[in-house]
Amino acid sequence: MTAFSLEPAQLAWCAELRVLAAERLRPLAGKGEPGRVNRALLAELGALGLLPRLFTSGALELCLMRESLAHACTEAETALALQGLGAHPVHAHGTDAQRAHWLPRVAAGTAVAAFALTEPAAGSDAAALSLTATPAAGGWRLSGEKCWISHAPEADFYTVFARTTPGAGARGVTAFLVPAYRPGLTGTALDMLSPHPIGALAFDAVPVTADDVLGEVDRGFRVAMDTLNLFRPSVGAFAVGMAQAALDATLGHTARRDAFGGKLRDLQSVAHQVAEMALRTESARLMVYAAATAYDEGAPDVPRRSAMAKLLATETAQYVVDRAVQLHGARALQRGHLLEHLYREVRAPRIYEGASEVQRSIIAKELYKNLEDR
């Protein structure tokens, strides 16, 4: 199989996922409360066998899931993705006891996971973390803040990145699995544009022990980057799913809409815009699939490819959704319209898991690194 064509079975599975998302997941998403964890939706994702796939799928399959779900139900896509983001460090770097306790519950949708990396003064510069892990009897005490954490403050556990060695930059960060019930851990919901919950966390001498470490002490940055290298292409897949939904809506609208004695699609200016939307969407899709395949094959250039895929796909989705809104006119801005929903959803992926500017820096760094290695 190449990165540029899917097998018939994969195409059939994607079609099945789109139907499931429309018929089984979208109704549950519609009943959810904005800014709150939709536990009924998570349970259905588990019952459909999609959450368990987070721990058995490669990067390409993860991308196909996210793209297909996003096309019909962005809320379901985001719920699945956040479970994966929060729990992947446990799956990939946790102990047998940590995996046995948490992963079956994550897969069933009964435990909510969260990835707690960002801080008020350390967003894109993840190596600048200041949440402090101070040595204490039996382990450490975590003190500081995390901010803009998806699923906070309602998650059942957090993958938390804290500084264990002062002044060591990325080399002095450790990843911890912190259950939400730990004393000293509190959270506050933030009122954000996104419909899913995002909050801030405060750590007031929260106790953690060696049993809570994910991976190795002072090697937590590796845990974070391993997770992001896997999930960045799939953020691109989420964006491609939204772009495709916007493109499909635009094709239907411009083919039906009467304007200037014909249909909108008869206007060359409109037809050319639709063609450009399709071109960019397909280009982004191919780069996402290529990056995911590179990850699955253990290619040496995964960081560059992952950054390129996320950058191109998220910027493309922003363009395509914006063009779709323009071609639909005022109706697209009406609350409840598909494009009004996508317009709100499409902005955040250009920021989280590394802003577009960070992706460009990663790409440039990897290019010059390759030059120096020759």
- Give me the amino acid identity at 2: T
What does the block give as tokens for 205?
């001498």
What does the block give as tokens for 144?
């500081």
3-state secondary structure the chain: CCCCCCCHHHHHHHHHHHHHHHHHHHHHHHCCCCCCCCHHHHHHHHHCCCCHHHHCCCHHHHHHHHHHHHHHCHHHHHHHHHHHHHHHHHHHHCCHHHHHHHHHHHHHCCCCEEEECCECCECCCHHHCCCEEEEECCEEEEEEEEEEEECCCCCCEEEEEEECCCCCHHHHEEEEEEECCCCCEEEEECCCCCCCCEEEEEEEEEEEEHHHEECCCCEHHHHHHHHHHHHHHHHHHHHHHHHHHHHHHHHHHHHHCEECCEEHHHCHHHHHHHHHHHHHHHHHHHHHHHHHHHHHCCCCCHHHHHHHHHHHHHHHHHHHHHHHHHHHHHHHHCCCCHHHHHHHHCCHHHCCCCCHHHHHHHHHHHHHHHHHHC
117 Cβ contact list (under 8 Å, min separation 6): 126, 129, 146, 161, 224
Torsion sign over Cα 135, 137, 140, 145:
negative
User: Among residues 44, 67, 77, 353, which one is catalytic?
Assistant: 353
Annotated catalytic residue 353: yes
304 Cβ contact list (under 8 Å, min separation 6): 362, 363, 366, 367
Catalytic (active-site) positions: 353
